[in-house]
Structure 1
Amino acid sequence: MQLNDLPEDCLLYIFDYFPELKQLHILSTVCSGWNNLIKRRLEKVQYLNLEESDEHSWHFKFREYPSHPHIYTNDIKLLERVNVSKLLPNLKFFTTNHYNGWQCMCRATINVLSTSNTLIGLKDRSPCHKSDSRNCSDGIHIDKIVQHCGNLEYLSSKSKHFIRSFFFSFGDNLKHFEALVDLSGFSLYPGATDSVSRLMAKMPNLETLTLLCEPEIKTRHWPIPKINLKQLKILTFYMRFRTFQVLSLFPELPSLYLRIDMLKKAKTFTTSDIHPSVQDLVIRIDNFLIDYQYDRDFKYPQLFKSILAKFPNCKNLMIDVAYEFINNKLMIEIIEVLPNLNLFVQNVYQALDDRKDPDYFNSVDRHFKTTGRRIAIYLFKNKGFGRIIRYSLNEDVAGPFKTDNQFIHKYFRCGKDSYPSIF
């Protein structure tokens, strides 16, 4: 039996698992039949990834993504000249990335942005934009890229120059923004001391915001438009130096993700501000064990209670403490701090069948039966759903992993990233 003897649907299914654009281009030259099938395969593509990588790694990375909508290439020259609207007529998101090289991606980025009719998302990781210069290594001014970005709804950038240039002209259409650069001291306009607030004011339709760290919020001398932000992520939150100032810009924020970097002396959270609108809360602590494994004076409850007391109306809570486990006594104390809590999820790093406390769930069960609380509690193994231990006292939320529970979708099905990304 020859390969061409297979039905078209079978061949199309096979082509769906070719991750590299150059490979598909070669296959399209075999015959007119294959050319038509490759065109159908490319019509499914919504995510285009330009990365400096060898072909071997494409197959490894491709396993992290759904097969149909994603495609990769390291052929920068191809993307500098191709008409994207004809090649990928339904493309929505474009990502540039690099590893150890310094090959300019700016011309390719301009071509993709200018020749695609459907593009709404850009994740900019070009090596050119890591420098302090507004001109890339090929002499292309950053404004030449930005002028094609007016229709973007999703933007992720590590470049202050790119961010400044973009928001000088655009922002109204933006719904999802990742600023993966420290905006402390960022100036949108010369002499502006409240530039972070001005930046937020440029995005009246913003729904999700990711910040590398919490910037200092200067006193505003002008009213900021109301922004109905649905989700805020702060990827590095230093407890000793920050006090949730940025939350003052979003008084009705319902969902917050915090990746906390604690310092040795910061054992409690001292701010007195309360944020009653937050209902979904994720707390991730990465260097907990390193800092405190020999500190016998450190008290778990002090830390968690001082944080959770700021969010009295939290309904869905996830706590992820790297290499540590919250014991049942502390779990009870945490739940008692939050009178409206319905769902408590904990990321577990050690083997789930090596429980130190075999009476873990029963003790929690007995306690909350006496109080009348109905709480759903879940443990899941880090980076996977293969070995979930589930415990539920609340049948209303007994199966969030099998439903459309938005809290679960945002924070446990983000596969390719250690934090939920907008892409």
Structure 2
Amino acid sequence: MLINELPDDCLLAIFDAIQDSKDLINCFKVCEKWCNLIVGRTKRVKYLINQSYYTPDCVSSYVNPPIDVTCLSKLFPNLRIAELSFPLHKKVPIEDIVKLVRETESLKGIIYDKYLYFKLKLEKANLEMLSTRCFDKKLNGIYENVKQFHLYDCNLGLFECIAHCFPNLERLHISKLADLPEDYFEAPVWAKLKIVEINLHLNSWVGACCSFVFMDRCPALQSAHIKIECCEIIFDGSIKLANLQDLVLQFVSMLLPKMDFSSEKRYNPIGWDDLQRLMSKFPNLKHLALRNTYLSDDHIKQLILILPKLTLLDIRESPGVTQDASNHVRNYCKRYGRSIKFYFKADDKQIEADWPQLLNRPDKICRGFDFMEHCFFKSFDNLPLFLDPIDD
């Protein structure tokens, strides 16, 4: 039997198993029958991305040789996010990519890497999510639709140059790959920002973390994921962030050599007294993760007193915290009528039981604008590029 003689159900099953956009395009061109049958498959595609696994609404954007991107809007009429990264754009005319971005009405987000240098005229597009490494510091348009901005190899000072262009941001992710000093700066007030994720990989000897200074300019902030790789943290304990409910602090301890170079000691950027002051900035905090810390059982006992509304405490990767702390938290909750989920073991299976919907795989895109479900339990390097607020 020839493949074209297969029943429609069999062909549909084959089309559903195809995860490569180039293969789908080729099938689309075979004949009118295939073209009509494959429409059901392609209408379900919302994400054109590169990752290690694919769900039915995703197809791979890794194609070599490059494809005619102008056909993507026709083939995938419900496409929401496209990864326009190498090698897709290696030999594709810039004009074709611009046309795709500006004429695909369903397109809400684009991902492009360091190889892509061009101006998309985004103020005329329908984009709400952007992920990039490079941008023009002289950018002066107003991009009111953009609600999520994912920047890598950037710092807060550079972002300040274009901050005025994105007045309606709700989620901001900034990570800096280079060892460059981070200067103190006065950022604008971000009235609508709900989620921030910041990792400033600073020079360990001279750098200071300004992430909390930035957060002070975000009065509506609800969630924050901060990775700290420096020897000093700057914050103003007098400013309270009353709306913050979810906080992840991922410390990276540094090994500092002694003068005789015969041994090393581990250095932490914040002491217990300062950590208490920092926590007092967030009086309504409900979910707290402190990863890779020096904390002890006694610190945990004090921490639950500092944060009266705490309902979840994640202290994994902190070897100084033992079962005694867990017992104390349980007894304290029983005595005072509080409920606190406490995780301290590196491979705590209770998390899977308490959060059955949790997926720890490094998704580039997660469905739903939900920090707790998609970000809280992940390391900074595995955070998604976008939280797609899709309802269906």
| Greater helix content | 1
How far is 1:261 from its partner? Answer: 0.8
Name the counterpart of 2:90. Answer: 103
1:41 Cα offset (Å)? 1.3
2:81–2:109 Cα contact (<8 Å) kept: yes
Residues 217 and 77 of structure 1: CA distance in aligned 2, closer, same or farther (over 3 Å): same
Deviations 1:252-288 (A, max 9, x none): 312111111132xx3x656434333221111112x32
Q: Give the corresponding residue for 2:248.
A: 282
RMSD: 4.2
Alignment CA distance shift 1:295-1:358 (3 Å)? same
Task: Please report how far the alpha carbon of residue 415 of structure 1 lies from its aligned counterpart in structure 2 after TM superposition.
Answer: 10
- What residue in structure 2 maps to residue 27 of structure 1? 27
Per the TM alignment, residue 95 of structure 1 is displaced from its structure 2 partner at its CA by 1.4
Aligned to 2:108: 120
Match of 2:386 in 1: 422
Residue of structure 1 in register with 2:350 after alignment:
389
Which of 149, 173, 176 is matched with 1:177 structurally? 149
Equivalences for 1:20-419 in 2 at 5 Å? 20-29=20-29, 32-49=32-49, 61-63=51-53, 65-75=54-64, 77-80=66-69, 82-98=70-86, 103=90, 106-129=94-117, 142-143=118-119, 145-146=120-121, 150-161=125-136, 164-165=138-139, 168-183=140-155, 186=158, 196=160, 199-212=162-175, 216=183, 218-219=185-186, 227-236=191-200, 240-242=208-210, 244-263=212-231, 266=232, 271-277=236-242, 278-285=244-251, 287-288=252-253, 290=255, 294-295=264-265, 301-302=272-273, 304-321=275-292, 328-347=297-316, 357=322, 361-378=326-343, 388-390=349-351, 399-401=354-356, 406-412=370-376, 418-419=382-383
TM-aligned CA deviation for residue 349 of structure 1: 9.6
1:282 touches 1:318 (CA, 8 Å); kept in 2?
yes
**Cα distance in 2, alignment partners of residues 290 and 16 from structure 1:** 51
Sort the Cα spacing of 1:415 and 1:301 in 2 relative to 1 into closer, same or farther, 3 A. Answer: closer
- SS state at 1:169 partner: coil
Structure 2 alignment gaps of length 5 or more: 258-262, 359-367, 388-392
Match of 1:320, as an amino acid?
A: R
Counterpart in the other structure of 2:363: none
Q: State the TM-score, normalized to the length of structure 2.
A: 0.74
Q: Structure 1 vs Structure 2: percent identity of aligned residues?
A: 23
Would you say the 8 A contact 1:113–1:148 is kept in 2? no
Q: Aligned with 2:250: secondary structure?
A: strand
Distance 1:21 1:415 in 2: 30
AA in 2 matched with 1:116: T
Contact kept? 1:29, 1:35, Cα under 8 Å = yes
In the TM superposition, residue 360 of structure 1 has moved relative to its aligned partner by 5.5
Secondary structure at the counterpart of residue 68 of structure 2 = helix
Are the aligned partners of 1:346 and 1:379 in contact in 2 as well (CA < 8 Å)? yes
Distance 2:343 2:215 in 1: 28
The normalised TM-score by structure 1 is 0.70
* CA shift digits 1:170-202 (9 cap, x unpaired): 31111111232424554xxxxxxxx82x74343
Deviation of the 1:159 alpha carbon: 0.9
SS of 1:91's partner is coil
| Residue correspondences, number | 362
| Structure 2 CA distance for aligned equivalents of residues 290 and 380 of structure 1 | 23
